Structure 1
Amino acid sequence: MAVWLKIVTFAIRAAQLICAVVIVGVAGQYIADPIPDKKGDLGHLSRFIFAIVFGTLSAIFAIIWLIPFSSNHMNWKFDGVLALPLAAAGGWLVYCSVDICGKVAISDVSEAAEPLGGGDNGELIDPGTSVCTKWKVLYVFSLAAAALWMISAMIGFFWVKKHFVKPKAPKAPRRR
Structure 2
Amino acid sequence: MALPELLSILLRLAELVFAAIVAGLTGAYLHAARGATALSLARFIYVEVVAALSILFALVWLLPFSGSFISWPGDLFFAVLWFVGFGLLVDWLGGSCGGVFEWDGIGFGGDAGGCTRLKADLAFVFLSGVVWLVSALVGIYWVRKHTRRAPVVTTTHRRRWYRSRV
Show the 5 A alignment for 1:1-176.
2-34=1-33, 44-69=40-65, 71-105=67-101, 107=103, 111=106, 130-175=113-158
Give 1:62 shift: 0.9
Distance 1:164 1:74, change over 3 A: same
Letter in 1 for 2:51: G
Identity of aligned residues (%): 29
Q: Which stretch of the first structure deviates more once superposed, 161-170 or 16-25? A: 161-170
Distance 1:44 1:132 in 2: 18
Contact 2:61–2:67 under 8 Å retained in 1: no
CA distance in 2, matches of 1:3, 1:129: 47
* 3-state DSSP of counterpart to 1:101: coil
Aligned partners of 2:56 and 2:18: how far apart in 1?
A: 12
What one-letter code is carried by the residue in structure 1 that aligns with 2:143? Answer: V
Give every structure 1 segment of 4 or more consecutive aligned residues whose post-TM-superposition deviation is greater than 6 Å. Answer: none
CA positional deviation for 1:134? 1.9
The normalised TM-score by structure 2 is 0.82
Give the number of aligned pairs: 159
Letter of the 1:170 partner, please give it.
V
Aligned residues of 1:35 and 1:42 also touching (Cα < 8 A): no
Q: C-alpha separation between the residues in 1 aligned to 2:102 and 2:43?
A: 22
Letter in 1 for 2:40: H
The alignment's C-alpha RMSD in Å is 3.1
Unaligned runs of 5+ residues in structure 1 are 119-125
